[in-house]
Amino acid sequence: MRPLERASYQNAGERTLNPVEAHPWDKDFKPGLRLQAQRVAEAVYGDAPAVTLDEGLRTMRLIEAIYAH
């Protein structure tokens, strides 16, 4: 698990990390914050489905389980 602020990927069978170029929004704002705010605004105005509380809790529990071990 590496911070997403410096995302990279590794191809199967290789040891080299390949950096992923950050979106300009992630250079101007805390990484992911601008997109998250946009998604909330879209849900408020009915342009996109909102994440349910249950789905959000499942995601947070999964993240907790990943970092707890």
Decide if pLDDT at 10 tops 80: yes
Q: What is the pLDDT of residue 2?
A: 58
Pick from 39, 34, 30: which is nearest to 3 by CA?
30
Both structure tokens of 46: 């009915």
Q: What is the pLDDT of residue 65?
A: 92
Q: Domain boundaries in the chain? A: 4-68
Terminal-residue alpha carbon distance, the chain:
11
Q: pTM of the entire structure?
A: 0.47
Place 4 in a pLDDT band, splitting at 50, 70 and 90: low
Place 1 in a pLDDT band, splitting at 50, 70 and 90: low
- Cβ atoms of residues 40 and 51 within 8 Å: no
- Which tens digit of pLDDT belongs to each residue from 13-61? 999 999 888 778 877 887 778 888 888 899 899 888 878 889 989 999 9
